[in-house]
A = this chain, B = another copy of it.
Amino acid sequence: MKEEIATTLASVGEFPLIREFFQPLRLEGVAGVVAGIGDDAAVLAVPRTQQLLATVDALIEGIHFSATDDPFLLGEKALRVNLSDIAAMGGRPNWYLLSVGLPGETPSQWLTEFTRGLRGCGERFGVTIVGGNTTGSPSGRTIHVTMFGLVGQGRALTRGVAEVGDRIFVTGTIGDATLGLAVRQGGLIGVDEADRRYLEGRLDLPEPRVDMGVALADAAAARGVIDVSDGLVADLGHICTASGKGARLDVGRIPLSEAARRLVLRDPALMRRILTGGEDYELLFTVAPGAVEMVHTLSGRVGVPVTEIGEIVAGAEVEVVAADGERLVLEQGGWRHF
- State which of B44, B48, B98 has its C-beta within 8 Å of the C-beta of A52: B44
CB distance from A61 to the nearest CB of B (A): 7
Query: Which single member of B38, B51, B102 contacts A43 (CB below 8 Å)?
Result: B51
Residues of B within 8 A of A44 (CB): 51-54
Q: For residue A57, which residues in chain B have a CB less than 8 angstroms away from its CB?
A: 99, 133
A53→B42 contact, CB < 8 A:
yes
A151 beta carbon closer than 8 Å to chain B: yes
Query: In angstroms, how far is the closest chain B Cβ from the Cβ of A129?
Result: 11
How distant is the Cα of A17 from the Cα of B197 in the complex, in angstroms?
Answer: 36
Task: Mark interface residues in A199-232 (1 if CB within 8 Å of B CB, else 0).
Answer: 0000000000000000000000000011100000
Residues of B within 8 A of A336 (CB): 13-14
Given known pairs A56-B99, A104-B338, the reply for A89 and B131 (CB within 8 Å) is no
Interface band, chain A? 35 or more
- A101 touching B142 by the CB < 8 A rule? yes
Q: In the assembly, how many copies of this chain are there? A: 2
Tell me the A107-164 residues at the B interface (CB within 8 Å): 130-140, 142, 144, 146-149, 151, 153, 156, 158-160
**Which of chain B's residues have a CB closer than 8 A to the CB of A56?**
97-99, 131-133, 144, 146
**7 more A-B residue pairs beyond the given contacts A39-B89, A61-B138, A63-B138, with a C-beta to C-beta distance below 8 A:** A17-B338, A43-B52, A56-B144, A57-B133, A64-B135, A101-B142, A136-B337
Binding site for B on A (CB under 8 A): 9-10, 12-14, 17, 34-35, 38-46, 48, 51-58, 60-64, 85-86, 88-89, 91, 95, 97-99, 101-102, 104, 130-140, 142, 144, 146-149, 151, 153, 156, 158-160, 225-227, 242, 336-338
